[in-house]
Structure 1
Amino acid sequence: MNSDPGLDGPILNRRAMMAGTGLSLLAFASPAMAQPAMADIVDPAAPLRTLYSGGRWIEGPAWDRRGNALVFSDVKRNVMMRVDAKGVGIFRSPSNNANGNCFDARGRLLTCEQRTRRVVRQEANGRITVLADRYRGKRLNSPNDLTVAADGAVWFTDPIYGITVPDEGIRAESEQPGRFVYRIDPSGALTMVEGDMDQPNGIVFSPDGRTLYVSETGGALKPDGPREILAFDVVEGRKLARRRVFARLERGIPDGLAVDRAGRVYAGVAEGAGVWSPDGERLGTIPTPKPCANIAFGGRDGRTLYLCATDSVHAIALRTPGIL
């Protein structure tokens, strides 16, 4: 059996083992992988290991540091899964078409539920607390992804995928005048922090918390829509300023986002995980067999990158640690 670089035990997904999981990056090498800057990030010969396969549309990977496990969402199957040294199993079913997940500083799991159009938190006793489901008295669109700031505030995106895309929620008319980025204060107060985006999606802070990155994925619903990663200055931990385009794609969209400790930005893209320098220079790609939606760092040392690529979850050991 192959050992997963981010888990203590063997990979136990039966389908993956039967198919053979030792997929070498060289088998999916692209010209971007030859760029010298990528050598500091990943060994070109590093194996891409398959932890789970057979899903429908997988997103929302989140590393549980206390449980040494990965939690992720199979959005269209309406379940959340968990993989650890013992194997792969169902974590929550039904999941309310859960999408983005993350853990807060106290180890509580935060989840964007597309079907119920809310952001929830699972408490230590298993109880579910609703953090946000309405803004100014009207239902949210379809919370998609989220991240936690150093002060404990939860920032999340609210596009319309869950109310428009089949099997990702329940079709409905939007009650909001736009698709916004929100902040949930530790007090519980909900504020809109960015109101001029087409389809905000992935969201992550820079390592110092001074910059917020948000993927703009309007191109997924209309050919001429935006396909960008936007960057904002974070002002006093509560507001955004100096909006600018950090990166732009010619095709596909940048979906889920992650950052490493050096400030490099990673995004799920059609070819795998695209990587950019803190200055916005495209460094290369960590390729996956199928289009990659979401990514997350994990493992005991933070050097494992988990990639949700369409119907499978892969893992690869990197040379650089990420922000968990």
Structure 2
Amino acid sequence: MMSRRDVLAAAAAGLTTAPVAAGPILRADDAGFSAVVDSGAQLRTLYSGGRWCEGPCFAPALGGLVFSDVRSNRMLVLGEDGEARTFRDPSNNANGNTLDAQGRLVTCEHRGRRVVRREADGGLTVLADSYAGKPLNSPNDAALGPDGAIWFTDPIYGITVPDEGIMAEPAQSARRVYRIAPSGGIAAMTEALDQPNGIAFSPDGRTLYVSDTGAALKNPEGARAIYAFAVTAGPLPAPRVFATLEAGVADGLDVDEAGRVYAACVDGVRVFGSSGAPLGRIATATAAANVAFGGPDGRRLFVCAGPAVHAIDLEVRGARFA
């Protein structure tokens, strides 16, 4: 048995194994967080069999919540019965997903280095795979614009991170945000960010939010902010910093009916007011990669976090369900 002196010495050295109480799932940083989520709301795990779950998109016409398991090179759909079924296997290391103005699924593919649209018969139409005659880097996430255009981010993760695509040197000179017009055709909208990642629009469509994840590439001094762009017909003007993180990066984004921004972060989902002020956090056991609103009334927030997909019912609806 250890003597009292030994116990004290071990404690001083940090060697004791006393259990540490788990922190709360919900943390309020502002009184406004109570309008977002009830204090008794529970975060439920719907699926836990993935490697790196990403790109949640609520699509009832396709069977429920469509999501990507990027590193397993497949896509699944999670039905209301709780069953996860194969949607695409292989998926070209698919990542972000969104619905277009006609409700068709649009998917960013790392391995294909392209953005594709799923047609009614299950076939795929390529919307973008190059810019200025050169292959894209690795389309990451997408959002539907107010005029029916599809906007997407194009960092380099799918060509530099093993298991997320095919390793290659970037063909593009910058990591950009692109716009695919409703009639077709791709335009570069900005190259102001290091590694543009998550993307979402404000409810009125006048502001575009993009997370910059430059700090994720083993660069502690890299970008770790969410930026806001005023949406214009041509190339976007210089952005303003919407919110910053003291550690980690913000990945996928979504927006609710009141313009609050939800960001998938290393410690869960951070919620920011429309001004950028931090409102609170919904903690996850593993780093959150992406978020999406859905459910029967648009109030369910789905969270992809490592091997798992979680859900929590909120007091507010997602912007596209308002």
TM-score between the two structures when normalised by the length of structure 2: 0.90
Paired with 1:179 and 1:157, the residues of 2 have a C-alpha distance of: 8
Paired with 1:68 and 1:49, the residues of 2 have a C-alpha distance of: 20
Deviation at 1:195, TM superposition (A): 1.2
Query: Which residue does the alignment assign to 1:172?
Result: 168
Q: 1:94 aligns with which of 90, 105, 117?
A: 90
Of the structure 1 ranges 99-108 and 157-166, higher mean CA displacement relative to structure 2 is found in 99-108
- Helix, strand or coil: the match of 1:268? strand
- Helix, strand or coil: the match of 2:125? strand
> Is residue 290 from structure 1 mapped to residue 303 from structure 2 by the alignment?
no
Conserved? CA contact 1:291–1:310, under 8 Å: yes
Deviation at 1:287, TM superposition (A): 1.1
Paired with 2:37 and 2:266, the residues of 1 have a C-alpha distance of: 19
Q: Aligned partner of 1:56: which letter?
A: R
Conserved? CA contact 2:25–2:284, under 8 Å: no
Paired with 2:319 and 2:92, the residues of 1 have a C-alpha distance of: 28
Conserved? CA contact 1:65–1:300, under 8 Å: no
Query: Which residue does the alignment assign to 2:273?
Result: 277
> Is residue 64 from structure 1 mapped to residue 62 from structure 2 by the alignment?
no
Q: Aligned partner of 1:232: which letter?
A: F
5+ residue gaps, structure 1:
1-25
Deviation at 1:68, TM superposition (A): 5.5
- State the aligned residue count: 298
Conserved? CA contact 1:277–1:283, under 8 Å: yes
Q: 1:157 aligns with which of 135, 143, 153?
A: 153
Paired with 2:272 and 2:248, the residues of 1 have a C-alpha distance of: 16
5+ residue gaps, structure 2:
1-20
Paired with 1:34 and 1:155, the residues of 2 have a C-alpha distance of: 31
Conserved? CA contact 1:183–1:190, under 8 Å: yes
Conserved? CA contact 1:117–1:141, under 8 Å: yes
Deviation at 1:171, TM superposition (A): 0.3
Q: Residues 275 and 301 of structure 1: is their aligned pair in 2 closer, same or farther, counting only changes over 3 Å?
A: same
- Helix, strand or coil: the match of 1:197? coil
Query: Which residue does the alignment assign to 2:182?
Result: 186
- Helix, strand or coil: the match of 1:179? coil
Deviation at 1:288, TM superposition (A): 1.2
> Is residue 131 from structure 1 mapped to residue 127 from structure 2 by the alignment?
yes
Deviation at 1:107, TM superposition (A): 1.6
Query: Which residue does the alignment assign to 2:260?
Result: 264
Give % identity.
56
Alpha-carbon displacement from aligned partner over 1:18-42 (angstroms, at most 9, x marks no partner): xxxxxxxx96426833642211111
Paired with 2:191 and 2:22, the residues of 1 have a C-alpha distance of: 42
Q: Residues 31 and 99 of structure 1: is their aligned pair in 2 closer, same or farther, counting only changes over 3 Å?
A: closer
More strand by share: 1
1:26-37 equivalent positions in 2, closer than 5 A: 28-29=23-24, 32-33=27-28, 35-37=30-32
Paired with 1:133 and 1:31, the residues of 2 have a C-alpha distance of: 41
Of the structure 1 ranges 38-47 and 160-169, higher mean CA displacement relative to structure 2 is found in 38-47
- Helix, strand or coil: the match of 2:75? strand
Deviation at 1:223, TM superposition (A): 1.4
Q: Aligned partner of 2:309: which letter?
A: V
Of the structure 1 ranges 209-218 and 287-296, higher mean CA displacement relative to structure 2 is found in 287-296
Conserved? CA contact 1:259–1:322, under 8 Å: yes
Conserved? CA contact 1:121–1:130, under 8 Å: yes
- Helix, strand or coil: the match of 2:159? helix
Paired with 2:191 and 2:223, the residues of 1 have a C-alpha distance of: 15
